[in-house]
Amino acid sequence: MNHADGLWRGLQLLLGLMGFWAVFLTIMFRLEKRTVSPYGEMGTSPFFGDPTGYGASWVTEAVRAGFVLLGWARDSRGSVYSCSYALLVSTDRTVFAVIGVGRVLKMPLQATWLHTPATDGRSFNSTDKQSGVRIDLSRNWTNQLAMEPSFPQLLRRHQEWLQTLRVVPHPFTANREFEEFKALRSDHFRSMERAGLIRFTDASATQFYYTFAGAAKTAIWGYLVGLARGLSQGAFPRSA
């Protein structure tokens, strides 16, 4: 086998793997029923423990950075999701932070999301883990993957990103931050419904399925973005 044949076979293998994952992820996206808001009962500590210490460390760093801890929410999606979420808000109420710990099936969850709503109705969020990225092709939400080792560094990357995009934040209302964050999520999924990406299962609009087109587009684009970010350590594409 000459060099050209080897390159061609390698390319065929790569394209075959990409095709397999695109089809597999499309099927998974299409079949899985999803929840608009996974945040259930509130407590003062993680409901399922925090064996790695990720949650305790990042919450401590967030509080030192001026964030107020609203509490820990239990994942409401059933026994498969043994997860807890620390909910915090910045002093100026322009950033709502969610720090998640636990397990989904047997896979560990350790991720942080920083959400900032903009005055134009869109929302911008940064996360430190690829597994925490949520692609929204309706463009209501825009995300950044910033694989930083601490909360202050993730916050700095988030703020620099917002400045680069010239985002004008729309602060949350004092003492209504959690309610408005849940409304922000609801508006996000309503935007996805209008774009034909999802269909709610009932009038309460608390659960949904991806449409076939929405599943295919989101799965394929999310896979390609994840691949590019994995190779570039999150640098490209910065916004998705």
Assessment of whether the complete model's pTM goes beyond 0.85? yes
Does a structural domain hold residue 21?
no
Handedness of CA 85, 93, 193, 21 (dihedral sign): negative
Helix axes 54-64, 151-165, angle to 10 degrees: 60
Does a structural domain hold residue 57?
yes
Whether the per-residue pLDDT at 79 is higher than 90: the answer is no
CA distance 157 to 127: 10
pLDDT tens digits for 34-55? 999 999 999 999 999 998 999 9
Q: Please count the helices (runs of H) and the strands (runs of E) in the chain.
A: 5, 10
Q: Print the domain residue range for 94.
A: 29-232
- State the average pLDDT for the chain: 93
> How many folded domains does the chain comprise?
1
Does a structural domain hold residue 15?
no
132-135: list long-range contacts, CB under 8 Å, 24+ apart. Answer: 132/100, 133/222, 133/225, 133/226, 133/229, 133/240, 135/218, 135/221, 135/222, 135/225, 135/240
CA distance 58 to 70: 14
Q: Provide mean pLDDT across the span 5-15.
A: 65
Residues paired with residue 82 on neighbouring β-strands, in sequence order: 103
Q: Provide mean pLDDT across the span 8-15.
A: 67
Query: What kind and span of H or E run contains 43?
Result: strand 39-43
pLDDT value at position 20? 79
Q: Which residue has the higher pLDDT, 25 or 1?
A: 25
Does a structural domain hold residue 38?
yes
Whether the per-residue pLDDT at 14 is higher than 70: the answer is no
